[in-house]
Amino acid sequence: MTKQEAYDHVKARIVVCFGIEDRVFGGHSKDKDRAKELKKHIAQNGLEPRRVRTIIEQYLYEQDVQSAHLSAQVKKAMDYFFPSK
């Protein structure tokens, strides 16, 4: 898998890590399971946090998520995918 294909996979799969109605990251058991799979994919492919953040922001923006909720959910997702050491 090329890097671009890996980022495309994140773009395609990020949607299933958020609730359909509430757009909360990992807020439901299925969302958590999918986020865990995506986290593994991100790590295995050495994807850059900056590009992953952009994908998440773009998805939430396209869903008309309010600014405060968007910021909170991007932080939650990034903290999960790229935990501080």
pLDDT by 10s per residue, the chain, length 85: 899 999 999 999 999 999 888 999 988 899 999 999 999 999 999 999 999 999 999 999 999 999 999 999 999 999 999 998 6
Q: Is residue 13 part of a domain?
A: yes
The structural domain count of the chain equals: 1
Domain around 11: 3-80
Residue whose tokens read 């998805």: 59
Q: Is residue 85 part of a domain?
A: no
Please tell me the predicted confidence (pLDDT) of residue 84.
84
Q: Is residue 12 part of a domain?
A: yes
C-alpha distances (whole Å) from 83 to each of 1, 4, 25, 45 are 24, 23, 15, 16
Confidence (pTM): 0.93
